[in-house]
Amino acid sequence: MSQTAIHVEGISKLYRLGERQRYTGLRHLLEDAVRAPLRWLRPRREGGETKKGAQEIWALQDVSFDVQPGEVVGLIGRNGAGKSTLLKILSRVAKPTRGYAEIYGRVGSLLEVGTGFHQELTGRENVYLNGAVLGMGKKEIARKFDEIVAFAEVENFIDTPLKHYSTGMMMRLAFAVAAHIEPEILLVDEVLAVGDIAFQKKCLGKMDEVAKGGRTIVFVSHQMNQIRRLCPRAIWVDRGGIRRDGPAAEIVGEYEAAMTSGETSESRNGTGVKAQFLRWHLVGPEGAQTNLLADDGPVAVRFLVKVNQAFRNAVHGIGLYSSDHQLIWGTAVNDLDFELGRIEMVHRLPTLPLKPGAYWWRVTLWDEEGLVDDLQCVPEMLVVTKPATHYRDEWAGVLNIPSEFSLLEVSGNDRSVGDPLDRVHIAARDDSTHPHRIVDGGCQSDVATTAVRSAKWSGDVPEERDPR
Amino acid sequence: MSVSEAQLAQQATAPPLVRIAPPKGWFAIDLREAWNYRELLYFFVWRDIKVRYKQTFIGASWAVLQPLLTMAVFCLFFGKLAHFDSHGLPYPIFYYAALLPWTYFSTALQNASSVVVDQQQVITKVYFPRVVLPFSAVISPLVDFGIALAMIVVMLGYYRMVPTLAMLWLPVFLLLAILTALGMGLWLSALNALYRDVRYVVPFLVQFWLFASPVAYSSSIVPARWRWLYGLNPMAGVIEGFRWSLSGHGQPPGAMMVASAAAVLVVAFGGLVYYHAMEGTIADVV
């Protein structure tokens, strides 16, 4: 008999919005205590009576599916479709309101990297703590410790408190611990999106390895290329239910097609009612709609909005994120009035010099009553510029800007060096306005020395040891 | 990979089944599961202890200094100036023996009442039996307690007081203090997750409780026939018990202890039930 690894049967989850605010105030507490003594001591059970002001949202409704042992399944869908809620229930962080799930095997869940990390503790101590939180035993961690540290490439800093780590190092250490839990069933929520591109590749490689090791993986991602690469099967979660379930290539294609065609779909947080972002595109050289950016601009990004109810004084926000969820650029526009119909929002940027890779746009629309819509754009914007980069990816950042470098000779009166001469001219000009300053060789050489030092320093300040 | 495959093969014989379903029942704490997570409990305690004295100048000396300084103040005002009755015990012994369990209790209670909120990052991202948290919160101050306990040995030596067999009762009184902190901590931590008001209530609670316990004074000022009622404050029994067992002087707190023990069991059991009832919804609300 072939036994399933995960069996999900009719799972539903009810959340109440606005409930928390109602409960946290002392005034409400007293009111409730007066109105119904002892009721306030009672935990709020889902499915109980609803009080006014608490908006009920079914984050998941009647979700059923099976995952066989060794399967790698990608969960895709819009923000707020219910993917993360589903993963939270499977990892037992949240309880379902209805339905049940059965899981056969040791579960490791990775809803976040670095859960339980403590800034004051050293890297070593945090590996143990994080490992324990993720379900590893002390012996197991001790056995894998060297492997974890080597994977994270933080050998020299392992006994340094975490607060002195760079974000990149911390993320690498966190993922390294996570990558070494070896459960039979692994639940992963968009955590591969950490660190620089080189490290991401390493993580994907590790995931591949884990998958080939015969373990079951359920994996949430907004990066369709990751899903295509890692998962033979994909489940498309939409409005709290399963919309499609099948081969990843097919499902991802349909999903992307639906997103680019600007299909309407409401999400669980109540957005998309008054207006909804339908799709986005860049305008290519021949006016073609595209998600490819082949040069560094100028760029025009367009977002199609469908307005269902007119509203006024709206605020529109836009953000551009790198694949590791770092905000690269963002802005907001105030005082917008919307009439019924379809509107295209256009943002023009004179230049957008980005390193090659996947980026994504996020657009929001707010009015006086709150969030109207929020879209994490699908598909990603693929930048295919020619990289002007150092061979080590982690020094590259996101900006693709060619730079010039020169070394300056340091000598008192050497006029053969071009650059310090310019500085002398500037200094001399300055001098005319500051008669008390004396320009001599010494001053000039100071300038030059500083220049050389800073140039050397910037090329020489390794954040950590070069692993190569 | 070979190690993990061996593990997998080992486990493959009987894959553990986890059933995820809506919460039900009013008392269904899976104690065996909680026991399986004892290693995590150990790590939480270990982290608490490590973190507490990081970047402090005198480190764990604080564990002794806190009760010692409070003792000095009490000796001066309640002893030298107000001449409170101390059962013929030297004031330093009288106060330090009481401050030992009290310092532990107040630290443990404050730790436990905020532990769920403090650990919300972990709670919303990883599963483990939530009951591990208040346990870890009342266990970690025991290290400080141990350090402070060593100090009283020095003091007893100074006053040439010889330990008696009454000393053997000390673990019982300590256990009672732990259970009191745990029982109250279970209630307060779960309530704190729902109502952040608890954060402001706890310091007052601790302060009132200090006055309601025989720390600064002796319980002999309470009329004998009301002493059992006074004993409903479990810390009353604990503190008098500590004085008696450490010094070997006076009477063991008999009737008061029985009332204290009963009160603790009720509070702790109720706390466990309430905490468990909250467990299912905690991740949704913190």
Domain ranges (residues) in chain B: 30-48+57-285
Q: Which of B127, B197, B280 sits opposite A91 (nearest CB)?
A: B127
Taking CA atoms, what residue in B is nearest to A161?
B54
**Domains defined for chain A, CATH in brackets:** 19-51 (no CATH), 271-383 (2.70.50.60), 405-468 (no CATH)
Q: Which of A44, A96, A104 sits opposite B22 (nearest CB)?
A: A96
Rounded to whole angstroms, what are the CA distances from A59 to A85, A90, A109, A259, A378?
Answer: 7, 14, 20, 20, 21
Quote the minimal CA–CA distance from B48 to chain A in Å.
10
Q: Tell whether A124 is within 8 A of chain B (Cβ).
A: no
Quote the minimal CA–CA distance from A19 to chain B in Å.
9
CA A344 to chain centre: 26
pLDDT band, residue A142 (cuts 50/70/90): very high
Per-residue pLDDT for chain B (286 aa), expressed as one digit of tens each? 344 444 444 444 455 677 887 766 555 666 777 788 888 899 999 999 888 887 777 878 888 888 999 999 999 988 888 888 887 888 999 999 999 999 999 999 999 999 998 888 888 888 888 889 999 999 999 999 999 999 988 998 898 888 888 888 999 999 999 999 999 999 999 999 888 888 899 999 999 999 999 998 888 888 878 877 888 899 998 999 999 999 888 777 777 888 888 999 999 999 988 888 887 777 777 6
Cβ within 8 Å of residue B34, ≥6 positions away: B129, B131, B132
Parallel, antiparallel, or unpaired for β A185-189 and A107-110?
A: parallel
Q: What is the ipTM of this complex?
A: 0.80
Q: What pLDDT is recorded for position B29?
A: 63
Q: Which of B18, B194, B274 sits opposite A23 (nearest CB)?
A: B194
Better pLDDT: A413 or B139 = B139
Query: How many contacts (CB atoms, under 8 Å) link A and B?
Result: 145
Stated length of chain B:
286
Are A23 and B20 in contact (CB < 8 Å)? no
Q: Tell whether A409 is within 8 A of chain B (Cβ).
A: no
Q: Most A CBs within 10 Å: which of B5, B284, B285, B286, as the mutation test of the A interface? A: B284
Are A120 and B8 in contact (CB < 8 Å)? no
Decide: helix, strand or coil at residue B124. Answer: coil
| Nearest in space to A65 (alpha carbons), one of A251, A248, A254, A242 | A242
Quote the minimal CA–CA distance from B280 to chain A in Å.
6
Question: A134 contacts in B (CB within 8 Å)?
Answer: 126
Quote the minimal CA–CA distance from B263 to chain A in Å.
20
CA distance A159 to A122: 5
Taking CA atoms, what residue in B is nearest to A11?
B21
User: Which residue(s) pair with A241 in the sheet?
Assistant: A238
Question: B20 contacts in A (CB within 8 Å)?
Answer: 89-90, 92, 95-96, 100-103
Whether pTM > 0.80 for this model: the answer is: no
Q: Which of B15, B18, B22 sits opposite A95 (nearest CB)?
A: B22
pLDDT in tens, A283-321: 876 777 778 888 887 889 999 888 988 888 889 999 998
Cβ(B213)–Cβ(B236) under 8 Å? yes
User: Which residue(s) pair with A317 in the sheet?
Assistant: A332, A364
Question: A23 contacts in B (CB within 8 Å)?
Answer: 194-195, 285
pLDDT in tens, A184-234: 888 888 765 555 566 767 777 777 787 788 888 898 887 777 788 888 999
